[in-house]
Amino acid sequence: MINLDFGFGPLEAEFWRLMFVMTRIGAALVAAPLFGTASIPAQIRVVGAGAIAVMICAWTDVQAPDALFSVAGMLSVAGEVLVGLSLGFVLQLSFAAPVMAAEVIGGGMGMNMAMAIDPTSGTQSPALGQYFMVVLTLIFLALGAHLQWFRLLVDSYTVFPPGHTWLGTERFAMIAGFASQTFMTAVTIALPVSLVLLVVQIVTGVLSRSAPALNLFSLGLPAGVLAGIAALVLSAPVLTDLVVRLSNDAITATNQVMSK
């Protein structure tokens, strides 16, 4: 089975070319954290992918396979999906770091009971994770990192033209390496607040042992919450610097995956 022919000639050829280009862009938007959220309707993502695909078709000479519905054509489509998902997944990893840091901080403060629906993943996450996610999203957009990511997505058609979309083991290892860097960033974000909470818990434990009449829960929980909030306020400049570095590292990692 080859291309469907509806008798529109060159117009139909351009349509299949547009649909083929939209495959990589759509996969990248689905995997990306800002554009693939459950709160964004699928129609919006389709319109966005179509708009970017129109520009790519105008700027480049990317062509759809001659037999798009053959085995070779389907393999080409699968390669486009692989590249798009990889570029979006690298960006997704950077947005996972604040949520992991919020899990650690919320556990120490006793605020993991305050849950909210994460618009990025559609699952429940701590309220602190929503705060970190908002900070990361605002800084990411303010730096124009989303525009740089779109630029890399357009450049991917030069680095990985259709038919040459296998990333290779080295690039997959690089993506896994960026995941370990994301864990390190999450630990760095949670470390200042976690140290303060550790000191508060030690002091609370000493007081409870020296004065058994004191209620540990009535004293420790408010003290942990207040100390955690104070530590979050004091560490806000550090959080901003780490989020800026995380946004830059996400774009750098995407660029390295393409240029390896």
Domain ranges of the chain: 10-259
Residue 135 CB coordination number (10 Å): 16
Q: Is 178 exposed, middle or buried (0-12, 13-18, 19+ CB in 10 A)?
A: buried
Match 């351009």 to its residue by tokens.
14
H-type alpha helices, 32-168: 42-59, 71-109, 127-142, 145-159
Full pLDDT tens readout for the chain, 260 residues: 445 555 555 667 777 788 888 888 888 888 888 776 767 777 888 888 888 888 888 887 777 777 767 777 788 888 888 888 888 888 888 888 888 888 788 777 766 565 555 555 555 666 777 778 888 888 888 888 888 888 888 888 888 887 776 777 777 888 888 888 888 888 888 888 888 888 887 887 777 777 666 666 666 677 777 887 888 888 778 888 888 888 888 888 888 777 75
Q: CA-CA distances (angstroms) from residue 4 to 18, 67, 116, 139?
A: 15, 9, 47, 46
- Residue 23 contacts residue 84 (beta carbons within 8 Å): yes
First to last CA, the chain: 36
Helix (H) / strand (E) element for 125: namely strand 124-126
- Cα–Cα distance, 125 to 120 (Å, whole number): 10
Residue type, 79: G
